[in-house]
Amino acid sequence: MEIDLFGNIIVEETDYDVKPMKKNPFDYTKDIGDKTYPDDFSGYNEWLTNSSFSQRKDTVLYANEMNKYYELTPKAQFDFYYHALPKKKYFAKWAKAVKSDYTDAIMWYFEVSYKVAKQYERVLKKEQMQSITDKYNKRKGGKNV
């Protein structure tokens, strides 16, 4: 412990090793749009990059082309997008599944999966689905009232 001329304790400063943050997979999509070439491809995710470009009308054909060549290295796939697409912001909201009012009721009534309930929904008449939904809404604790 060291003390200065005024009697104050001198605290030694410690240097902390700051590791560079690992890139987010969506940072690569941003790099393609900004036309900045990354030094490292360790965080690159081919599937997420293809999915993000398939969400937009103007880049879906490029994503489809990349799906044909899934065996390419991350660097080769990045190069394709980097050189094929113009400089632009490529942020797009991701598509979400559309859920109808009847799907949960059909899943509960027939005790089937979401996929099977959607198939039932195409076959059932409107009155039948309404009847199932009424029973679904009246249930209490998982039992009919």
The two tokens of residue 53 are 């470009």
Q: Quick one: pLDDT at residue 17?
A: 74
pLDDT per residue rounded down to tens, the chain (145 residues): 688 888 888 888 777 777 777 788 889 999 999 999 998 888 899 999 999 999 999 999 999 999 999 899 999 999 999 999 999 998 888 888 777 789 999 999 999 999 999 999 999 999 999 999 999 988 866 555 5
SS (H, E, C) 68-136: HCCCCCHHHHHHHHHHHCCCCCCCCCCCCCCCCCCHHHHHHHHCCCHHHHHHHHHHCCHHHHHHHHHHH
Q: What pLDDT sits at residue 130?
A: 93
Instruction: Note the pLDDT of residue 93.
Output: 83
Task: Please tell me the predicted confidence (pLDDT) of residue 139.
Answer: 84
Q: What pLDDT, on the 0 to 100 scale, is given for residue 33?
A: 94
pLDDT of residue 107: 93
143 backbone dihedrals φ, ψ, rounded to 5° = -120, 155
Q: What is the pLDDT of residue 133?
A: 92
pLDDT given at position 106? 93
Answer whether 0.75 is exceeded by the pTM. Answer: no
Look at residue 94 in the predicted model and tell me its pLDDT: 82
